[in-house]
Amino acid sequence: MASQVFDFEGPKGYRLSGRIEGPEAPHAWAIFAHCFTCGKDSLAATRTTRALGVRGVGVLRFDFAGLGASQGKFGDSTFAADVADLIAAGHAMTAAGKEPSLLIGHSLGGAASLMAASMMPNIRAVVTIGAPYDLKNVLHQFDPAALEEIEANGEAEVHLAGRPFFVRKTLIDALRENNLRSHIADLKRPLLVMHAPGDDTVYVDNAAHIFAAAKHPKSFISLDDANHLLTQQRDADYVADLITAWSSRYLPMKSDAG
């Protein structure tokens, strides 16, 4: 199975760092959007995309601007910027002859995928993994004192997932103000919602709200005892198996081309 660097230009002119996993001739192409502050090299992103590659789906995983090896500053990021990065990834893949037909989003990347799909006409289906319905859920990861400092000063250094990040109030406001309901209702694409009932980072009631807001065809799969970050290899493999089986009904197969 091949693995290759796939860097591309983001919407603000930054170079975004990506990697493609999959066989030389996959039956479909997908984009994996990572979780908040995680990056393309997180266990969930790496293991899930590689497992999908083994199953015949070529997948691009990339760092949103300001994270990992991508250019830009995390402090300048907003939810809308992540959505724009996703759309740019789709354009870059299409230009390279790897037109994506599936969006897979983990955690906040799932919310960004739900928002971006309607602006990516070639996307045939969407998968969310542990995604928030109410983006304010992400703020639970911030120390209350840090949030108070951001409110008072407009910016602050915060620690997320054990690492320091410089965060501006624009990001906090964007998470508070975005409403996914209308975007989910107007998705007009098959949707697979995956969530672990014991997820203590993004509670499972978020999945229930996403599923209720979506129109058919839609599916919900419980990830049993998986944790939010899918740190167990068996959970990443399980997710890849389920995505492969579910999406085969909607993605182009080799026979589609005649």
Would residue 13 count as lying in a domain?
Answer: yes
| Domain ranges, residue 26 | 2-134+181-249
Would residue 39 count as lying in a domain?
Answer: yes
- The label of the residue with tokens 């990697």 reads 19
Distance CA 37, CA 12 (A): 19
Would residue 187 count as lying in a domain?
Answer: yes
Give the CATH number of the domain where residue 122 resides.
Answer: 3.40.50.1820
SS3 69: coil
Would residue 167 count as lying in a domain?
Answer: no
Would residue 168 count as lying in a domain?
Answer: no
Would residue 41 count as lying in a domain?
Answer: yes
Spell 126-162 as b/e; 16+ CB within 10 A means b: bbbbbbbbbbebbeeebeeebbebbeeeebbebebee
Instruction: Give the model's pLDDT for residue 33.
Output: 97
Q: Please list the residues that pair with 158 across neighbouring strands.
A: 165
Would residue 163 count as lying in a domain?
Answer: no
SS3 130: coil
How confident is the prediction along the chain (258 residues), in pLDDT tens digits per residue? 668 999 999 999 999 999 999 998 999 999 999 998 889 999 999 999 999 999 999 999 999 998 889 998 877 778 889 999 999 999 999 999 999 999 999 999 999 999 999 999 999 999 999 999 988 877 877 888 888 998 899 988 887 656 777 888 888 887 887 779 999 999 999 999 999 999 998 999 999 999 999 999 999 999 999 999 999 999 999 999 999 999 999 987 654 443
Taking a C-beta distance cutoff of 8 angstroms, is the pair 110, 130 a contact?
yes
Number of domains observed in the structure of the chain: 1
Instruction: Give the model's pLDDT for residue 257.
Output: 40
Would residue 81 count as lying in a domain?
Answer: yes
Whole-model pTM over 0.75 = yes
